[in-house]
Amino acid sequence: MPARRPSTLPRFAPRAVAIAGLGAAILGHPDAAHAFPHVVKAGETLAQIAERTYGRVEMEQILVAANGLDAGGGIPIVPGMRLEVPALGYRRAVAGDTWVALATALLGDERRSDALALANASMPWLAPSDGQELIIPYNLRVVASANDSLLTIAYRYLGERDKAWMLDRYNHKKEEPIRRGEVVLVPLVDLPLTAAGKEEAAAAFAMVRAEGTGQTREAQRKVDAELPTLAADARAGRYVEAIARGNRMLGYGELSRPQIAAVNRVLTEAYAAMDAVGLAETACGAWRTADPATRLDPIELSPKILRACTAAAASPAQAAKPATPEPPASAPSLLTRPAPGSRAAPTRGSP
């Protein structure tokens, strides 16, 4: 077996990643590889599902492995059975990303950075480009049989025995032989969907989102719990911490519009304080989109925040929206309302 290839990726700067994180949150790209469900219909076979979804009958073996249908003497599919159909995920890279950090977050281990880089036609020592759309492999779970080795598994699912070295590193085998019943993860990147497959995936994702209301509720509960801490970070001038926390909160799931507005309002202040002008403008645009009733009060907001929000309103995305008139200085401003759970409103002394 070829020698394992070392990964020499540089460590990332936490501050750079924190500042860049808003880009990923706003772009809304998924941060993990996807599979979508398929409910077996009367008369369907795995070969038919593979051909309709991927355009290749031989992809039947991927469906078998992904759903554990090769257990025992083989498990037949029956109408009503819910299958997992493997598909790729995508992630938009931002400044400061490294293959090590991405592999840790998306594939569970920094030692899988080599495979992630190669899947995206790059090399482990080259950082992904800012804005590059990345493929996130699907981790196929293969249960080894008595006659299996990394060579046979690499050939069966990746089409090349030479990729056994990658499976060795990916599964931390250190060139030890695999045993019967052992689980081997195979990172798949050759999963192109047909037009019919894409249509089914879109419909399935909509169904999964509708079924996932419990997860949405939990995400919104977590954000409510963290909003006071986020506001406290900004009031105390802990802007790097506020940026990191705010972007993490935006990534929890589908938030309510008031929550999106509250988080982006703090991010606007933090980015403006750190002179990250473009990010401040983007955050203010997201804030005012989520809360169109927001009024910019020059008595309560600093010049930096006002400039960022004015520039955001003048951008093409905001140009079609009617301008919101500024209230008189004596009128109460909706912006002075503290975030839920906090006791203080932003003051003139904030950035």
pLDDT for the residue numbered 22: 35
Q: What is the pLDDT of residues 196-211, one digit of tens each?
A: 988 888 887 665 555 5
Task: Say how far apart CA 137 and CA 106 lie, in whole Å.
Answer: 9
Residue 278 clears pLDDT 60, i.e. is over it = yes
Sketch the domain layout of the chain as residue ranges.
213-323
pLDDT given for residue 209 in this prediction: 53
Note the pLDDT tens digit of each residue in 76-122: 889 889 899 999 888 888 889 999 999 998 888 898 998 899 889 89
Residue whose token pair is 């046979």:
152
Residues facing residue 136 across a β-bridge: 89
> What is the per-residue pLDDT for 336?
36
pTM exceeds 0.85 for this model? no
Which range, of 43-47, 51-55, 256-260, 335-339, averages the lowest pLDDT?
A: 335-339
Q: Is 134 helix (H, G, I), strand (E, B) or coil?
A: strand
Question: What are the phi and psi torsion angles at 229 (to 5°)?
Answer: -65, -40
As a whole number of Å, the end-to-end CA separation of the chain is 59
Residue 35 has pLDDT above 50, yes or no: yes
The answer, yes or no, to whether residue 49 has pLDDT greater than 90, is: yes
> pLDDT above 70 covers what percent of the chain?
75
Rounded CA-CA distance 37/25 in Å is 26
pLDDT attached to residue 155: 93
